[in-house]
């Protein structure tokens, strides 16, 4: 099979092009930027929280989470002093829970290593847990107006189109080139506004499909527009296919309480609490009852009897489309004392206090309609 042709080297833009880009972008941003809560502050803590929440998550979803989070934890010190359970509870439904745990750890490092004040130095910021090169650049440029570059999904698309970069933007060489480009074009002044305008234009105008070139303020500077190649740039690798998975969740009852466990480090949704949950192969009859009983015993040591299906929930985790069959079951009287404080028997009402996954929360809300069987 013929190998794809190597991308032609792409020259970095001239100083005149860069000045024109900055002027057009800043003018457009002043007129068209969305009114978002984190744009009313230069507090690096709040900008950091917003940047972490915005990773992999839509702006409209983030806004209410951001408002609740900074109201509950208005400073890095307040976050550092919080219980992880409360942090995760406020993050519940936002997904990618590792972000919240790293935010919490980083807040503790800010208190211990920096006296509670957010560092200004790009390298120090980049050493905090959960803060990569993009996030560090975004925080110091937006909060302190320091000339730090950024590169994330919107700017990868916009920059590669602007210079008509025909290489694979997900390759090492592609990333290296785009970071070099981002560092070249970031201006000495108004760097935070410039970076935000790049992201905003990428998000609102230079969209992945059907970019609105007709209203784009930088189309005269855009290589992809000039060549009519907006639909072919950026070039990316094919995504792995979506995989269908079946899982079961079992609400195990004992004396009016249900069993929950805190998911361990390294597991999906680490730090959240959950009912018993595992992959399941059998579909019906004795084979299903036997597999449910075995897997409940393996995961918890509990013995259940007569599991009964109460719901089927569908959800996605990364590239997996999961069908979750939910069961209730009563525990037999063996191994009712739990060996770990991270495993609990709990009144259904008390689940409101614990951080749960989205499907765990849906299941918990059904429990008021489901009484334990005798
Ligand atoms: Fe994107 Fe079109 Fe603007 Fe080029 S002209 S930056 S492709 S919206």
Query: Is the C-beta atom of 205 inside 6 A of ligand 1?
Result: yes
How much is the pLDDT for 3?
Answer: 43
Residue 236 binned pLDDT confidence (cut-offs 50, 70, 90): confident
Q: Residue 299: pLDDT above 80?
A: yes
- Which is the closest atom of ligand 1 to the Cα of 216? 3
Alpha-carbon separation of residue 207 from 23, 210, 226, 288 (angstroms):
21, 7, 17, 47
How high does pLDDT run on average in the chain?
Answer: 93
Query: Is the C-beta atom of 25 inside 6 A of ligand 1?
Result: no
51 a catalytic residue: yes
| Range in 10-19, 31-40, 131-140, 289-298 the model is least confident about | 10-19
- Which is the closest atom of ligand 1 to the Cα of 202? 1
Residue 372 binned pLDDT confidence (cut-offs 50, 70, 90): low
Note the pLDDT tens digit of each residue in 163-201.
999 999 999 999 999 999 999 999 999 999 999 999 999
Best probe residue, ligand 1, of 21, 224, 226 (max atoms within 8 Å of C-beta): 224
Q: Residue 7: pLDDT above 70?
A: no
How much is the pLDDT for 12?
Answer: 82
How much is the pLDDT for 5?
Answer: 45
The tokens for 107 are 């807040």
Q: What percent of the chain has pLDDT over 90?
A: 87
The residue nearest atom 1 of ligand 1, judged by CA position, is 206
| Range in 2-16, 54-68, 189-203, 339-353 the model is least confident about | 2-16
CA distance 131 to 128: 6
Bridge partners of residue 346, in order along the sequence: 258
**Cα 10 to ligand 1 centre (Å):** 17
CB distance 256 to 368 below 8 Å: no
Strands 320-331 and 243-254: parallel
Q: What percent of the chain has pLDDT over 70?
A: 94
Query: Is the C-beta atom of 258 inside 6 A of ligand 1?
Result: no
What is the rounded average pLDDT of the residues 210-222?
A: 97
What is the rounded average pLDDT of the residues 313-340?
A: 85
CA distance 46 to 69: 9
| Range in 4-8, 69-73, 183-187, 258-262 the model is least confident about | 4-8
Taking the model in full, what pTM does it have? Answer: 0.88
- Which is the closest atom of ligand 1 to the Cα of 217? 3
189: number of Cβ within 10 Å: 10
**Cα 119 to ligand 1 centre (Å):** 36
How much is the pLDDT for 104?
Answer: 98
């Amino acid at each position: 099979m013929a190998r794809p042709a190597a991308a032609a080297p792409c020259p970095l833009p001239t100083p005149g092009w860069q000045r024109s880009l900055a002027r057009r972008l800043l003018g457009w941003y002043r007129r068209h930027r969305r009114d978002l809560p984190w744009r009313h502050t230069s507090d690096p803590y709040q900008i950091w929280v917003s940047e972490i929440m915005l990773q992999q998550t839509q702006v409209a979803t983030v806004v209410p989470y951001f408002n609740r989070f900074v109201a509950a934890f208005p400073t890095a010190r307040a976050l550092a002093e919080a219980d992880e359970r409360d942090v995760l509870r406020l993050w519940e439904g936002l997904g990618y829970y590792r972000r919240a745990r790293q935010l919490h750890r980083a807040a503790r490092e800010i208190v211990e290593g920096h006296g509670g004040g957010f560092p200004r130095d790009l390298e120090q910021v980049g050493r905090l847990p959960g803060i990569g090169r993009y996030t560090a650049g975004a925080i110091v440029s937006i909060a302190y107006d320091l000339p730090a570059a950024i590169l994330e999904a919107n700017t990868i698309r916009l920059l590669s189109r602007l210079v008509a970069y025909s290489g694979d933007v997900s390759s090492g060489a592609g990333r290296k080139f785009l970071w070099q480009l981002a560092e070249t074009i970031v201006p000495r002044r108004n760097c935070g506004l410039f970076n935000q305008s790049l992201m905003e234009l990428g998000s609102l105008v230079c969209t992945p499909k059907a970019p609105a070139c007709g209203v784009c303020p930088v189309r005269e500077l855009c290589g992809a527009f000039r060549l009519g190649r907006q639909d072919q740039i950026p070039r990316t690798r094919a995504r792995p296919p979506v995989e269908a998975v079946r899982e079961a969740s079992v609400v195990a009852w004992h004396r009016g309480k249900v069993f929950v466990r805190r998911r361990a480090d390294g597991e999906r949704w680490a730090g959240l609490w959950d009912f018993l949950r595992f992959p399941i192969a059998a579909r019906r009859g004795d084979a299903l009852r036997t597999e449910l009983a075995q897997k409940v015993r393996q995961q918890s040591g509990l013995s259940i009897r007569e599991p009964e299906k109460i719901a089927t929930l569908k959800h996605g985790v990364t590239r997996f489309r999961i069908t979750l069959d939910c069961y209730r079951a009563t525990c037999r009287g063996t191994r009712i004392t739990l060996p770990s404080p991270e495993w609990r028997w709990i009144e259904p009402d008390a689940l409101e206090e614990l951080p749960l996954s989205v499907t765990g929360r849906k299941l918990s809300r059904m429990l008021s309609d489901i009484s334990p069987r005798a």
